[in-house]
Structure 1
Amino acid sequence: MPKRLILLGGGHAHLRVLKHLIEHKPAELEVLLVSPSPWQYYSGMLPGLLAGDYALQDCRVDLASIARRAGVSLIIAAVEHWDAPQRLLDLSDGRSLSYDLLSVNTGSETQLGELQAVGDVLLPIKPLDHFYQRCQQLFDAYAPGDTATVAVVGGGAAGAEIAMAVQQALQTRSLCADTLLITGKCGVLAGHANAVKRRLRQLLQHKGIEVIASRARAIEPGRLEVGDKQLRVDLLIATTGARAPDWLKPAGVSLAKDGFIAVNACQQSLSHPEVFAVGDVASRVDKPLDKSGVHAVKAGGVLCHNLLAAAKAQTLKPYKPRPVSLYLLNTADGKALLSWGPLTAQGAWVLKWKHWLDSTFIREFNE
């Protein structure tokens, strides 16, 4: 019987694996791709999508197409239960799948916590397609000239980009946008250079986006407590960090302190060597990494090597992250902001560069 490899999730690293398999798939290896959607949306293009730079189809990879070209069977379903000791996955379509090798690249869920009491106005940033469609529905409910109060919770790059993109989307619809960015005590872009943070704060001030460096707590539907203030919001967007999916805890696999799959330098599970995990769903115990799509993209090549090596009982190799990650933030005004270690820049040329990188990434897997 051929060995069976299951790719759970269509994340950025698994796209690299699928592309490699198009020309280098071992004949004796059966590969299944399990994903709840036939599309994989690229998170880096979401702000541009909201701001009107792209259409929805510009920002996604056709998983059915790339799987077919790779000789991989695509199963459209979500995982409901994982039994790691028995090597079994129970899916939402009723199927139960066994495996010899498993690679997990499903991403994470949004940490909501006390924000959930705000009710139907709460909109987590994931899953991306649902977030975008829900935003369009909410925006379309307003008439030109109406005022919409939108609060974005989360001071990272995603929170800042989404705040600027949503404001632009509302203004494009001739709406009055009252936009708030609630960052918590760490402020905007914690971990980035001071010059980057200073430039972003000036930009947000120029756009009229109020930055509140306090913790947000939902009081009741539509109302927030932020510091010593109480605010009424029409839309609360959560970019509040990563939370481990519920199906990980009972799986019987070793988890890190943050609840994600504990892996070594080779992205291999500490408790089950036939299991690999990459991206937000995994946590390196030897070298903690930020929950960033940058690492999922860069680790894809190493993951591909290690999956095929594991199938042949060959030597694995470690993923060595770059010491500094490049961030290009779409500022929703025809420009973008660059953050690379201590270096920063802003301008239309940065946005053109970002458009080229993002579009090239999508075309790489769709063609």
Structure 2
Amino acid sequence: MTVNPSRKHLVLLGAGRAHLQVLKGLARQRTGDMNVTLVAPHPYYIESAMLPGYVAGDYTLEDIRVPLDGLVEASGAGFAPAHVHSLDPVGRRVQLSTGDALPYDVLSIDTEPAVDRDETEALMPGARRNALFTRPLENFVQLWPQLQALARDRALQVAVIGSGLQGAELAMAAAHALAAPHGSRITLLAGDAPLLHDQPAALQRRVLARLRALNITVLQDHCASLDGRALQLASGASLVCDAPILAAGAGAPAWLRQSGVQADEAGEPVVNERLQSESHRQVFVVPPGAPAEVGAALDANLRTAIGGGAFRKAPADLSRLKVVSCGDGHAIAVWGPLGLEGREVWNWKDRRDRRQLAALFTP
């Protein structure tokens, strides 16, 4: 890896949506005062908003996974295909799985939410060996067709472990994809709190009704362990399960939590309105669930951090529109107390998602 030492070095960790917008900005307007290196474990971007559609069979893998090489080349950035082993924010250095120690002047982190498998195994013994993890996405999209193939041979008992919209969307997509030809059944293991208790009442009501229509069993319980044949639940009950799908527990990667960058009680980095770490101002972090518009602010602020100028305030996610994919070409859209659902909502969501994905890779 060659870096010109006479110019400042911007390192982008992760190929998230905001970083793609930064690369797109570089492709439009190169800057001569910095080197840029993108670090990502795979040379692809996977659109997570379209993942339930892929699971349901509405999309092929090529529809939701786009190679990075064209955008990286157009931006003039270097690409390091590697995992991050550790981050030293004091020494301004990133240790990579390749053995390289990558120095930086400014660092930006926009990585996929990660699941700590050691921690998960401690909470749910047997998960590492028996569960199908949805993170990282690159692994999941490769393994999902194998589960579909099993369902074509016999009926499966599938458990989706995860609360929130992600778990509900995945359960509905799996119910559609695995029903034929043998009638596989889906259970959503949603934890203690009522499912979608933190969502608008109109959305909660419609999603619960859709889950019932798809004959998905919702259990308010936790998985205590897995043995490949059944899940042992915290309540003491046992749930027969051929295929547990783990859609919970994703957050900041271990290397970031262990770096010394200031974090909150949940282990997530604390950032200011400019997306800078509160403890290390040369480190920028894109929070999970940040709105699509955050990429433009990040691009401007990284250039400011390198070359000087005024920082911009990153937009907060204030959208009241919630859109949920339900499988079988069906979707729900809710705006406050108002809601719509059906195939037309799915068609609108499909057009929007395809358009936004294409725009990320259009110079």
TM-score normalised by structure 2 residue count: 0.92
- Map 1:1-80 onto structure 2 (within 5 A): 1-80=6-85
Instruction: Evaluate the alpha carbon distance shift between residue 366 and residue 237 of structure 1 in structure 2; reply closer, same or farther with a 3 A threshold.
Output: same
Q: Are residue 224 (structure 1) and residue 231 (structure 2) matched?
A: yes
- Map 1:315-330 onto structure 2 (within 5 A): 315-330=310-325
- Map 1:1-367 onto structure 2 (within 5 A): 1-110=6-115, 112=120, 114-118=123-127, 120-144=129-153, 146-172=154-180, 174-218=181-225, 220-226=227-233, 227-280=235-288, 292=289, 295-367=290-362
Instruction: Evaluate the alpha carbon distance shift between residue 209 and residue 218 of structure 1 in structure 2; reply closer, same or farther with a 3 A threshold.
Output: same
C-alpha separation in 2, matches of 1:175 and 1:326: 37
**CA displacement, residues 245-283 of structure 1 (integer Å, 9 cap, x when unaligned):** 111233232222211222111110111111100033xxx
Structure 1: state its 5+ residue gaps. Answer: 281-291
C-alpha displacement of 1:14: 0.5
Instruction: Evaluate the alpha carbon distance shift between residue 119 and residue 231 of structure 1 in structure 2; reply closer, same or farther with a 3 A threshold.
Output: farther
**Secondary structure in structure 2 of the residue aligned to 1:25:** coil
Find the counterpart in structure 2 of residue 286 from structure 1.
none
C-alpha separation in 1, matches of 2:263 and 2:128: 31
- The answer to whether the 8 A contact 2:163-2:191 is kept is yes
Q: Which amino acid in structure 2 is aligned with residue 123 of structure 1? A: L
Runs of 4+ in structure 1 displaced over 6 angstroms?
Answer: none
- After TM superposition, the structure 1 stretch with the greater mean CA deviation from structure 2, 162-171 or 41-50, is 162-171
- The answer to whether the 8 A contact 1:119-1:221 is kept is no
- The answer to whether the 8 A contact 1:187-1:213 is kept is yes
**Secondary structure in structure 2 of the residue aligned to 1:45:** helix
Instruction: Evaluate the alpha carbon distance shift between residue 128 and residue 85 of structure 1 in structure 2; reply closer, same or farther with a 3 A threshold.
Output: same
When the two chains are superposed, the root-mean-square deviation of aligned CA atoms in Å is: 1.8
C-alpha separation in 1, matches of 2:271 and 2:98: 29
C-alpha displacement of 1:219: 5.2
Instruction: Evaluate the alpha carbon distance shift between residue 361 and residue 116 of structure 1 in structure 2; reply closer, same or farther with a 3 A threshold.
Output: farther
Q: Which amino acid in structure 1 is aligned with residue 220 of structure 2? A: A
Instruction: Evaluate the alpha carbon distance shift between residue 90 and residue 169 of structure 1 in structure 2; reply closer, same or farther with a 3 A threshold.
Output: same
- The answer to whether the 8 A contact 2:125-2:226 is kept is no
**CA displacement, residues 175-213 of structure 1 (integer Å, 9 cap, x when unaligned):** 321110111222222211222111111111111101112
- The answer to whether the 8 A contact 1:330-1:337 is kept is yes
- After TM superposition, the structure 1 stretch with the greater mean CA deviation from structure 2, 116-125 or 48-57, is 116-125
Instruction: Evaluate the alpha carbon distance shift between residue 62 and residue 234 of structure 1 in structure 2; reply closer, same or farther with a 3 A threshold.
Output: same
Structure 2: state its 5+ residue gaps. Answer: 1-5
- The answer to whether the 8 A contact 1:156-1:189 is kept is yes
C-alpha displacement of 1:63: 1.3
C-alpha separation in 1, matches of 2:249 and 2:338: 25
**Secondary structure in structure 2 of the residue aligned to 1:261:** coil
Instruction: Evaluate the alpha carbon distance shift between residue 142 and residue 347 of structure 1 in structure 2; reply closer, same or farther with a 3 A threshold.
Output: closer
**Secondary structure in structure 2 of the residue aligned to 1:251:** coil
- The answer to whether the 8 A contact 2:11-2:39 is kept is yes
- The answer to whether the 8 A contact 1:115-1:122 is kept is no
C-alpha separation in 1, matches of 2:172 and 2:250: 21
**CA displacement, residues 296-329 of structure 1 (integer Å, 9 cap, x when unaligned):** 5231111111111111222212223143343221
C-alpha displacement of 1:143: 4.5
C-alpha displacement of 1:347: 1.2
- After TM superposition, the structure 1 stretch with the greater mean CA deviation from structure 2, 221-230 or 82-91, is 221-230
C-alpha separation in 2, matches of 1:70 and 1:353: 31
Q: How many residue pairs were aligned?
A: 352
C-alpha separation in 1, matches of 2:151 and 2:162: 25
- The answer to whether the 8 A contact 1:119-1:222 is kept is no
- After TM superposition, the structure 1 stretch with the greater mean CA deviation from structure 2, 183-192 or 306-315, is 183-192
TM-score normalised by structure 1 residue count: 0.91
Identity of aligned residues (%): 33
C-alpha separation in 2, matches of 1:157 and 1:208: 17
